[in-house]
Amino acid sequence: MFILVLVSVISTNEAFAVDFKDHTGYIPEWAVDIGEQQALMTCFNMEYGTLDQKWCAEYSGYYNDKITKELDAINNDESIDDSLLNLNYVPQFNKNLFDDAPKKIPYTSYVNQLYTFSLIPPQKWSVHENAELIDSNDAAPIAFYSHRGNLEYTSNFGVLYVNLGPSNFDLLRFSSDDEVLNLFVSEMTADNINIKIKQKNIESYVDGYKIIVQYVETVKIDDKKFLTLQRESVAYLMASGDTYVLNFASTPEDFTANIEDFRKSVNTFHVGTIEYDTTPTKSESASICGTGTMLKDGKCVVDKSNDFSSKSGGGCLIATATYGSELTPQVQQLRELRDNFLLQTSSGTSFMSSFNDFYYSFSPTVADWERENPAFKEFVKVSLTPMIYSLSILNYVDIDSESEVLGYGISLIMLNVGMYFVAPTVIIHTIRKKF
């Protein structure tokens, strides 16, 4: 999201104020009193879809055209040293950031089709889409949360995306790698004296840059509370204009325990086409179908190689297929209900034993149908949502005895019977009487 253009022999410098207006005649107030390059850099922090961002899109094209014309004029002047313009830029690595060929990924990968990226999330980390970020107005398309360490301010990382336009990347090539890195860092610390840079590095490729910055930041939680976060950001600036930033944050005491999980996921990050590995490992197949189950001949079946499934119920096959991952909050809620509520009492354990025999007689087939038919999957999701909301009631009650387990259990069963059977029956009967 940052750009640097240092062409000392070109007359468009910071002393020249911006007077560019877009096709509607609009120019932001903040752009009037600053230099052209400063305005260009400021544009990279604009919120997508706003009037200012639309102005920035036109302005960057205008500025690029202006640079091109001046370069053409300079090229006709033999007294100018071409090395000053960095026209013969050579990246550190003579290859692309990501391979053009489809990448084989395991079934445990998270795939975002909207922003065309994939990665393997850390094991046992929660996943949340459109997650809000601390001390930011942005929302991450996806964020992952650790369950290790401080549970109030849990370690996490999110993936941010913005498209800056290919013309802006072309301007980057007029600068050295160190200049690009230094501007990236300066933009991070602009107007924020609470950031201390610890390490920084840049790798340049044929079609982009990979920038890594490790830093410490103090953020304000409320009027009386401040929180120190240790962060690591990995940014991919691509020639297409696509920019991805993976931001990790943790309290200092939990940083060491979680940072390697983040770095392993970064190493699996890929932008472009993918294809699934058709031979998943046992742990990968369990992530597809659910713990205690396995993928066999393309179908989810109970894993009989251990007795976990018979004791605790294995995985939530239908919910996992519905919501796409065993890490989603909905699936975790069902698992926690089973492990922390039902299996803590003898009556709950007996119920689960009988329920498993019934559930696993049909759930693998239903889960396979969902993976094969997106429409059926959406239907199941709509059907499951009321039940999951009703079960969340148990998060707000204290249960200390067998009788309370039975009482709440029977109440929830009756509530769901009412929602799924009684209410539809009454509605259908009422409609038939009227017509």
Residue ranges of domains in the chain: 1-88, 103-276, 282-431
Q: What is the mean pLDDT of residues 290-306?
A: 52
Predicted TM-score of the model (pTM): 0.53
Q: What is the mean pLDDT of residues 399-426?
A: 74
In 3-state terms, what secondary structure has residue 219? strand
What is the C-alpha separation between 412 and 418, in angstroms, rounded? 10
What is the C-alpha separation between 132 and 139, in angstroms, rounded? 5
Query: DSSP code of 122?
Result: P
Do the beta carbons of residue 213 and residue 184 sit within 8 Å? Answer: yes
How many C-beta atoms lie closer than 10 Å to residue 321's C-beta?
Answer: 26
Q: Which two tokens stand for residue 319?
A: 């919910």
- Asked whether the predicted pLDDT for residue 395 surpasses 70, the reply is no
What is the C-alpha separation between 301 and 298, in angstroms, rounded? 10
Helices assigned H by DSSP within 190-281:
252-267
The CATH number for 103-276, chosen from 3.10.20.90, 3.30.9.30, 3.80.10.10, 3.40.1000.10, is 3.40.1000.10
Do the beta carbons of residue 123 and residue 265 sit within 8 Å? Answer: no
Q: Which residues, in sequence order, are CB contacts of 239 under 8 Å at separation 6+?
A: 166, 169, 207, 208
Which of 196-200, 277-281, 318-322 is most confident?
196-200
Q: Which two tokens stand for residue 154?
A: 């849990």
Summarised one tens digit per residue, pLDDT across range 307-351 is 434 444 455 777 777 777 666 777 777 777 777 677 767 777 777
pLDDT > 90 in the chain, percent = 14
What is the C-alpha separation between 345 and 289, in angstroms, rounded? 26
Instruction: Specify the pLDDT at position 261.
Output: 92
Q: Which two tokens stand for residue 113?
A: 């089709």
Summarised one tens digit per residue, pLDDT across range 14-66 is 334 577 888 888 888 888 777 676 676 677 666 767 888 888 878 877 877 77
